Structure 1
Amino acid sequence: MSVQNSNAANAAIAVIGMACRLPGARDVGRYWSNLMEGSDFLAPLDASALRAKGVPRDRYAREGHVAVSGAVDGVEDFDSSFFGIAPAEADAMDPQHRLFLEEAVHALEDAGWAGRAAGGRVGVFCGSGENRYGRLLPAPEEGAGSHRRMSDAPAMLPLRVSYHLDLRGPSVFVNTLCSTGLTAVHLARQSLLAGDCDIALAGAVSLQLPHEHGYLAGESAVLSPDGALRPFDSAANGTVPGSGVGIVVLRPLADALRDGDRVHAVLHGTAVNNDGSDRQSFAAPSVAGQRDVILAAVADAGVDPRAIGYVEAHGTGTPLGDPVELAALREARERLGVDTPCAIGAVKSSIGHLDTAAGMAGLIKAVLSVREGVIPATAHHRELLPSAGIEGSGLYVNTRLRAWPDNGQPRCAGVSALGVGGTNAHVVVGHHAAAPGPRPTDGATPEVFPVSARSADAFHELRGNLADALTAAGGTASADVARTLQDGRMPRELRRAWVAASLPEAAALLKDEAAPVTAGPLEVSLDLGSAVRPGPSLTDRIPALATAQARPDATERVFLTGYAALEELAALGVRVATLTARGAGEYLAAAHAGALDREVALRCAVRHEAVRAVVRDGGDLSACETHLAAMEDDLRAHPPTRPESALRSLSLGETVPAGSELSVDHFLDVAQSAVMDGGPGAAPSDAADLMEALASWQDWLELAARCWERGADLDWGRLRAGSAHVVALPGYPFHPRRHWAITIPDGAAAHPDPATGAKPEPEPAPVPAPAPVPAEGSQDVVAVVMDTWRSVLGEDDIAPDSDFFALGGHSLVAAQIVARLRERFGVSVSVGDLLDAETPEAMAALVREQQTSAALYSALTAPHSADSTGSFEL
């Protein structure tokens, strides 16, 4: 591309990830397939379908009712457990927020950053439509009012994403009505260029409720009376409402290329402005405002305007908006001195007008178009509107699927979004040609292929999807697939990791239906009696192993080799909960756990093995006494400290917990066991054998994989032989449940489902709140607290030791529990104390403590009668 200013390259922002859920498409791949068909995906609804959805006849039979829906599937469903959100909170949450949360995960997965984003400087810039769902819910009970008010607030959207995905960059809510999505993209790009964040999510969501009902064209002058949206057409008569969500992940291009990110396209320039008062009315568009935002974006991009061969227009199909937009495009090109051919399209003709998310649907379409070199058709366009006035400008409405015209320039497109109220946004997006270069070949070196999920069903579905994808992934490097799984997926509780040197081998392993491993404490065993001789495949990657192997003394060599291996595990991010060893290995374990100085531990190990050699060879036992005495002197001069990991002694058959006192006598007892040549214990079968893992690079990777399965947060880069790139792989298969709050007032029919209008089947009545109990009453306080949890969290499976936070609890939910406990027991427990308690059993203990204090206070402050007054001596 012809760059017109030296800053343009530095200002280039890569689109490294995308996700969407739109009418007729649950993901980006399906969206692109639909666009290739060139038709619309607005769902027609006949009278029987409307009746089945519970739409009243007086609505769909009314004059002006249009039985067309631009709906997305599954708006009532949400995988709350994946995000650790309590079911009751998910029921009340704006479904726009739920849709956006799930697609944010898919966008980060597409970018290959879902596993690396947590804790990073990742910004979130997004907006939503108004919370129509919240208006349809019944008023919350008094104790839950503040929680619901916060949950209902649209501005909670980016904050939820930042919280649940642990993103530490700016978190900004954006709303400029129909231009919200592109305005969010502009702000995200500016934040990246300013250095406020390293990566940014930008997007928008809009959900029209009631859902799948059709609409009344007479309610608005801009709604199409026949359910067809015809951008820039002579027969255009209005827009069609739709719902959807779209998100892009952005990163500076130089950083993306350095780290092997997949670049879908490049944002070269963005601009946002407002029409001000230069228009007929507040809601009317302005030619000058739209023209100027295009010119500003092109100038910001620093590209040759002739490179822009396609414009994804706002294109609402309204008689007022379309002519103004075409006039603005024409004037912008005139001022730029450009009359080369340039196609115009508008995806609203296929999916409807998505309100706040409209610009995101257009941007993702444009990114796909420049990436693939194909311009999709604009549905329903037959004849250019007479007032278009674009003759001689080079502009034309694209009405068929066509290859990108070769104009001697790299592919570049403009995208417009125009908001009611005058905020205009324009983006210039360009094709990125990957630099040619050698790629890793299969079979050269083994790789770790990790898979995790929140539930067993999701795990097996994901495992199967990946196996199918790898089977069909001809020409893809196994290193790229491994890297994408390692860095690009959020590690969850259920895990398995396989080591393979090729994709066919990995696919075969993934087809194994073995159960996943639950993350938990990791135990590593150390056997210094193993004959360890790491080969070049290990010593080249872990130089400390080569240094250890240079020691002439066998015991020192094995000890230092084990120590180097443990240090490398720590550098990988492995936190060993328990180190299990026998004999000389116990000094190594203590050294790694920080309980013994390494040199002291090494000397003890050497003397320990010397004692064993004397006993084994039938030598003079007085030599053993000499070694043991030297060990005791050394240990008393350098006494042990508290270990950071638990130490399981197989020689003594006991375990020293992490952080506990560790005496010199413990190690003297271990040393004494050398005289007996053994001990009573054996390493647990589920403990990972450190020394066996040093046999080869494959074995080392197997150990690392096992550590990850047990919950280690690995630094995957230390396990990769070279650079690897992000590739497309199946995303997380959410397993949602229905979260749609319905109430059935006493003596009244059920409220219609906000999503469909249908009246629901009666649901079981909520668990009634227990009546207040006296402090000394016989009722089980734990049972009352558990009932309160069930009601507030919406979770039936509550036990006395259930974890409040694991069930989606947080301070606002705790405040509701405090209010209910106050009502039921007449005691006041602070929110902080309640959060510290964490379980129903501990919370019940707090209640009993408050009851006891209240009873004591009442006794001390009770008025005394005259008869009860005694005499006392002065």
Structure 2
Amino acid sequence: DPDRLRGSRTGIYAGIGTSEYRDLMTTTDYGISYLGTAPSMAVGRIAFHLGLEGPTVPVELNCASSLVALHHAVAGLQRGEVNMALVGGASAILSTGIIREMADLGMLSRTGACRTFDASADGFARGEGCGIIVLKRLAEAKADGDRIWGVIRGSAVNQNGASAGPTVPNGPVQERVIEEALSRAGVSPSDVDYLEAHGSASELGDTIEVQSAAAVYGKGRKADHALLIGSVKTNIGHLEPAAGVAGLIKVILAMNQGVIPRHLHFRDPNPNLEWDRLPVRVTSEATDWPVHPDRPPFAAVSAFGISGTNAHVVVEGNGTGDGVGSRHQPAGGAQPVAVDLPEPVKDLPLAKEGLGARKTRFLPLSGKSDGALRELASRYLSWLDEHALSSGDDTDPLLADMAWTAGVGRSHFNHRAGVVFRDAASLREGLRKLETGRQTEPRAPAKVAFAYTGQAGQWAGMGHALYESEPVVRAVLDRCDSVLREAQDDSLLDVLFGQAPGDPNDAARIQPAIYALECALTALWASIGIRPSVVVGHNLGELAAAQAAWMFGLEDGLRFAAARGALIGGLPEVGAQTAALDDLQATLDGIAIAPPSLTLVSSMTGKVVEPGKTLDPAYWRCQASEPTATDRCAETVVDLGVETIVQIGPRTTPASAADNGEAPVVLSCLPGTFVEAVAGAYEAGLPVSFAGLFAGEARRRIALPGYPFQRRRYWIATQNRQ
């Protein structure tokens, strides 16, 4: 999620080439825009849009640019200048002038093919492209559960110096840059399996590069373990400032796939090299990556600039751990999910064992337009096809990892859809509906009220499914059950789950149980980052609303609910026994009551409780015995600008009955499922913290479909463009 990088010490190191776009602007009425074309602005604008506060470093060293940029990024990470680095390069062919100059210098192939290492090599073919990689310190990447594609073991950069000419390669200097990179990597030359060569397809350059590589990498190498070499330039052309990062990406992908792509156009080996005597072999066919049971795979990447700069990087492959996660992409290590809870329940221990598996998930999808959202649904359908996920099996951990990654690893825009599913088949059904039929409206973050119900509408087993699967709910209910058992030797869990003997509607038993359940639901919603700015409660529900506003602690509220229930259960009619009400007030006299910490709508007046005002025991005495202003409460909630009401309790709250053209969205996880309610909250624009949906689990981030950008063309209109 790029939004999480805002304000971070993330640096940008980019290989940048010639200013062809600026040259084009001279042929238009736009003039030259320094803010749009200067190399420093290229990296600066990226930092501006992403909110990054690390160094921004443009590197212009011809063909070595992006690999030198990587070298500087590694150094920045090692020195602690940055905690993350975006490294790469880009190349676009925008004018014919540079092409003519390169052709005049004999650099370009007349046949338009890059025949590196071949006898017919006559120069390179220019290519276009962009490549970006993300670097972090290895220990931090592991701790953060990042998907690690590979490890930069060492890098080095040097300069040809006084060679035969400013553009002529220097073999001994190339050997030294390789040796320095290997030394920093702590890797033996004979352990490197593959070299991604610079491979500019010039007779002299190819000859010197192969000889230099063989001189270093041939040391101690067994005859049956030749150094494999190739160059991505034969496949995609020469990307110039992006050539180094293109080669690195090829190497990383090859390591992860276990296959080195074919090096093209290699038929007749360069006659200037004694191939039979060299410990190297060109990968002229797709080649399996050598497997070593005692060590990981190693590779190296070279990039040599026409100005004499030499760069070399040694890379270690990274396995996919236990293989759980994406079947085709490396996955991050499984990490225990941490949940942020509100203060009253922050220190409650969360169960790590004995919980049932969550049977329902939801996939959050979002876009900046309805079209982007629909296209994203299509991409996920294709992703399911690629991973052969189509059955009704709900045990595949890849589906849970998918939902986790989509939640914590993506930005969330205002066009939203929450696809609730139990298995791959139901996920496909939901995605197809979104792809073809559902129109979404943009949603902005909304003002939220929690509305708490009183005693009525309860049923045997309410909350049981949440107790079995949600550690937050279990922690709160277990704590309340323990307190009640000590006080009156009764189990509120038995009452909630329909296992207690006697009248299930006995107020003395059901009221503390409902209070505990509502406090557990409040904590559960808080665990996904949804907390109210307004609370309102009906009858008994006002106790849980007051606890949510931190007017008293969880346990004090439970004792109050138990005393209130005993009073209500013992009265032939409300208000009939003054003595019983006196006892209730006496119970409250022993509880420290604070002013509400957020907006509380009084059930007695239907108005907002004034800031700083404490609802004393006398208020709660009346609240237990007199009629409440239910309709007025609902009107006040709407008047406060509430756009989303979360129902807390076993039935629909009166506050949800507000009926006008701007009625709030109403959400409830009982009697439905919590996941369905969270999906509704997500679609309503609420900022969901997805960790709460995975509390008690260990999940990993995996590769998912990229965002479907709805592209627009912004190229300048040039005059006399050829």
TM-score where L is the length of structure 2 = 0.75
What's the offset of the Cα at 1:280?
Answer: 2.2
Residue 583 of structure 1 corresponds to 539
- The one-letter amino acid of 2:170's match is S
Deviation readout 1:671-694 (Å, 9 max, x if unpaired): 756512552255889522233567
Residue 432 of structure 1 corresponds to 318
Instruction: Pick from 650, 665, 673 the counterpart of residue 699 of structure 1.
Output: 673
Specify whether residues 349 and 473 from structure 1 end up closer, same or farther in structure 2 by C-alpha distance, changes over 3 A only.
closer
Instruction: Pick from 703, 716, 719 the counterpart of residue 752 of structure 1.
Output: 719
Residue 418 of structure 1 corresponds to 304
Instruction: Pick from 504, 508, 525 the counterpart of residue 451 of structure 2.
Output: 525
What's the offset of the Cα at 1:417?
Answer: 0.8
Q: Are the equivalent residues in 2 in contact too, given 1:614–1:621 (CA < 8 A)?
A: no
Question: Which secondary structure does the structure 2 equivalent of 1:427 belong to?
Answer: strand
Instruction: Pick from 658, 661, 664 the counterpart of residue 611 of structure 2.
Output: 661
CA distance in 2, matches of 1:194, 1:494: 41
Deviation readout 1:461-480 (Å, 9 max, x if unpaired): 10222133225533652222
Q: Does 1:133 align with 2:21?
A: yes
What's the offset of the Cα at 1:654?
Answer: 4.1
- The one-letter amino acid of 1:727's match is I
Q: Are the equivalent residues in 1 in contact too, given 2:585–2:618 (CA < 8 A)?
A: no
Residue 153 of structure 2 corresponds to 268
CA distance in 1, matches of 2:571, 2:24: 83
Structure 1, unmatched stretches of 5+, are 1-112, 743-750, 759-874
Residue 191 of structure 1 corresponds to 76
CA distance in 2, matches of 1:588, 1:455: 39
What's the offset of the Cα at 1:433?
Answer: 3.1
Alignment of 1:841-856 (within 5 A): none
- The one-letter amino acid of 1:548's match is C
What's the offset of the Cα at 1:511?
Answer: 2.2
Q: Does 1:549 align with 2:481?
A: yes
- The one-letter amino acid of 1:124's match is I
Residue 124 of structure 1 corresponds to 12
Q: Does 1:736 align with 2:711?
A: yes
Q: Provide the identity percentage.
A: 28
- The one-letter amino acid of 2:535's match is L
What's the offset of the Cα at 1:356?
Answer: 0.9
What's the offset of the Cα at 1:304?
Answer: 3.7
- The one-letter amino acid of 2:538's match is R
Question: Which secondary structure does the structure 1 equivalent of 2:686 belong to?
Answer: coil
Instruction: Pick from 676, 680, 689 the counterpart of residue 627 of structure 2.
Output: 676
Q: Does 1:287 align with 2:192?
A: no
CA distance in 1, matches of 2:61, 2:103: 25
What's the offset of the Cα at 1:491?
Answer: 1.8
Specify whether residues 714 and 663 from structure 1 end up closer, same or farther in structure 2 by C-alpha distance, changes over 3 A only.
same
Give the CA RMSD over aligned residues.
4.0
Specify whether residues 581 and 136 from structure 1 end up closer, same or farther in structure 2 by C-alpha distance, changes over 3 A only.
farther
Instruction: Pick from 337, 343, 358 the counterpart of residue 243 of structure 2.
Output: 358
CA distance in 1, matches of 2:712, 2:4: 28
Question: Which secondary structure does the structure 1 equivalent of 2:698 belong to?
Answer: coil
Deviation readout 1:638-685 (Å, 9 max, x if unpaired): 5625x44x44456544456xxx73545799778756512552255889
CA distance in 1, matches of 2:416, 2:268: 57
Instruction: Pick from 300, 315, 330 the counterpart of residue 199 of structure 2.
Output: 315
Q: Are the equivalent residues in 1 in contact too, given 2:27–2:719 (CA < 8 A)?
A: no
Instruction: Pick from 186, 198, 207 the counterpart of residue 302 of structure 1.
Output: 186
What's the offset of the Cα at 1:430?
Answer: 3.2
Structure 2, unmatched stretches of 5+, are 326-333, 335-355, 390-395, 485-489, 491-508, 651-667
Residue 378 of structure 2 corresponds to 464
CA distance in 2, matches of 1:337, 1:183: 28
What's the offset of the Cα at 1:632?
Answer: 9.9
Question: Which secondary structure does the structure 2 equivalent of 1:359 belong to?
Answer: helix
- The one-letter amino acid of 2:627's match is M
What's the offset of the Cα at 1:718?
Answer: 6.1
CA distance in 1, matches of 2:253, 2:77: 22
Instruction: Pick from 249, 254, 257 the counterpart of residue 369 of structure 1.
Output: 254
Aligned pair count reads 623
What's the offset of the Cα at 1:271?
Answer: 2.1
Specify whether residues 234 and 116 from structure 1 end up closer, same or farther in structure 2 by C-alpha distance, changes over 3 A only.
same
CA distance in 1, matches of 2:29, 2:581: 77
Residue 16 of structure 1 corresponds to none
Deviation readout 1:291-321 (Å, 9 max, x if unpaired): 1111122222333433323211111112342
Deviation readout 1:433-479 (Å, 9 max, x if unpaired): 33337779x98643332111111111111022213322553365222
Residue 689 of structure 1 corresponds to 647
Specify whether residues 624 and 457 from structure 1 end up closer, same or farther in structure 2 by C-alpha distance, changes over 3 A only.
farther
Alignment of 1:220-239 (within 5 A): 220-239=105-124
Residue 209 of structure 2 corresponds to 325
Identify which range, 611-620 or 489-498, moves more after superposition. Answer: 611-620
CA distance in 2, matches of 1:717, 1:309: 44
CA distance in 1, matches of 2:700, 2:205: 44
Question: Which secondary structure does the structure 2 equivalent of 1:518 belong to?
Answer: coil
Q: Are the equivalent residues in 2 in contact too, given 1:417–1:426 (CA < 8 A)?
A: yes
Question: Which secondary structure does the structure 2 equivalent of 1:687 belong to?
Answer: strand
Specify whether residues 462 and 583 from structure 1 end up closer, same or farther in structure 2 by C-alpha distance, changes over 3 A only.
same
CA distance in 2, matches of 1:417, 1:259: 31
CA distance in 2, matches of 1:158, 1:713: 32
Residue 511 of structure 1 corresponds to 432
Alignment of 1:65-104 (within 5 A): none
- The one-letter amino acid of 2:648's match is L
Identify which range, 209-218 or 568-577, moves more after superposition. Answer: 209-218
